[in-house]
Structure 1
Amino acid sequence: MKSATSRSRWTLFLVIAVCAAPVILSYLSYYWIKPEGRTNYGTLLDPRLFPMPAMMLSRVENSAPAEIQDTNGKWRMLMVTDAPCTQQCEATLYQIRQLRLMQGKEQSRIERIWLITDQYQPPVAQLQAVTGMHVLRADATPLNKWLPVEQGKAPAMYWYLLDPLGNLVMRYPVGSDTVKIKKDISKLLKASGIG
């Protein structure tokens, strides 16, 4: 009789262990086994920390007033420069253009914005090279407070991705890998039902 009771108890404990094992393993993996990799290449930004400020903007080509909000409803690639556009700047503008084209049929969901924070007037050839891009002049003060940068770096050392609601969501250092950025943007467009 004792051996039947003992066997029943062991069977009960075994059933409990089998049922509890997935719960215990998931708890351990969630709290102690942290994944090393991440799925995004750029720096993911918390939009709540960087609300878009009110900014006075004007179009470079004709000084007409403009707003970043004019492009609401679209994803936006935002580049900021505070000096004449050098070779590296031109390379970044070209990269942003190519990244948009690489999205294929989804490219219509993306706008490109170049904010110039000084009195630099891009030559005609440079403006022609960025046809379709919103080239705007902006005051550096609100931009510098808004755009997140690492200590000792300027906003011009990065370019940014804004979601269709105007929130900053990603930051990329100038010179980042185009293929990896394309994957980030493709994932965002696929996962997003807006824009």
Structure 2
Amino acid sequence: MSGSNSSARDAAPPLESPVALTVHSLPDPALSAQKRRGRWGMLMVIIVCAAPVIASYFSFYVLRLSGNAYGELIMPTVDMPAQLSLTDLAGQPVAAESLKGQWLLTVVQEAGCDAGCEKQLYAQRQLREMLGKERDKLDKLWLIPSDGPDAPPLRPELQQAVSQGVPVTVLRAPRAQIEAWLKPGAGHALAEHFYLIDPMGRWMLRSPAAPDPSKVKKDLDRLLKANAGWDRPGR
């Protein structure tokens, strides 16, 4: 029996050394605190940038100024398509992101631009001027629907007209992309309205067809006064 016990002891596997156990390093408290500060800093930047726009929406949606709006508020707002293919009049590509940062009073008109189009462009220019000290918060945008690469040019006299004073930003985009983003009122065409795009690139207001400029101005006044902290100069 004693010999048997001795053999069992001899056959027992050796115990693992405690030194062989894996030890995971603990997180560095200083590094974790730095990451938290970075996240909070980024959040604060986003809040500061968005605050003026939020104030405008607060005025319309919470304080019920929307009940007095002349135009139709778009609920929910419609984001600018990320893949919106824009080109300038020279055919050079323009990033959609470059349109953000300002309120955009937008018209959608063909390159041929008939008398009704010219009247609307004139009203667009006058509306911006009528805003007085608030006008630098608003840019004028003309979107020209394009059906292919061979887009017709603007008449020289028209191109000169939209370049006077603070120029209109004139950009071409595929017709299907514009129609997927902006919508006319029932029974109307895209060219009959003004479309207001907020500084985040969201379509949020549509004027009635053949709008009264003085009433459109009242809508713009309400938005821009609530948006007093937004003072980025025009593009």
Q: TM bucket by the smaller chain?
A: 0.7 to 0.9
State how 1:1-195 maps to structure 2 within 5 Å.
38-48=67-77, 50-53=78-81, 54-60=83-89, 62-82=90-110, 84-118=112-146, 119-131=151-163, 132-192=167-227, 193-194=229-230
Which consecutive aligned stretches of 4+ in structure 1 deviate over 4 angstroms post-superposition? Answer: none
Amino acid at match of 2:230: I
Compare 145-154 and 173-182 and name the one that shifted more.
Answer: 145-154
Q: CA RMSD in A?
A: 2.0
Residues 158, 168 of structure 1: CA spacing in aligned structure 2 closer, same or farther, 3 A cutoff?
Answer: same
Distance across 2 between alignment mates of 1:80 and 1:162: 13
| Structure 2 runs not aligned, ≥5 long | 1-63
The share of aligned pairs that are identical, in percent, is 36
Letter in 2 for 1:124: P
8 Å CA contact 1:77, 1:162 repeated in 2: yes
Cα–Cα, structure 1 residues 173 and 125, in superposed 2: closer, same or farther, change >3 Å?
Answer: farther
Unaligned runs of 5+ in 1: 1-34
Mark the structure with the bigger radius of gyration.
Answer: 2
Deviation at 1:65, TM superposition (A): 1.0
- Give the alignment's TM-score, normalised by structure 2: 0.62
Deviation at 1:117, TM superposition (A): 0.8
Is this contact kept in 1: 2:71–2:216, CA < 8 A? Answer: yes
CA displacement at 1:71 relative to structure 2: 2.7
- Tell me the TM-score normalized by structure 1: 0.74
The 8 Å contact of residues 85 and 93 in structure 2, kept in 1 or not, is answered as yes
Q: Distance in 1 between matches of 2:102 and 2:144?
A: 21
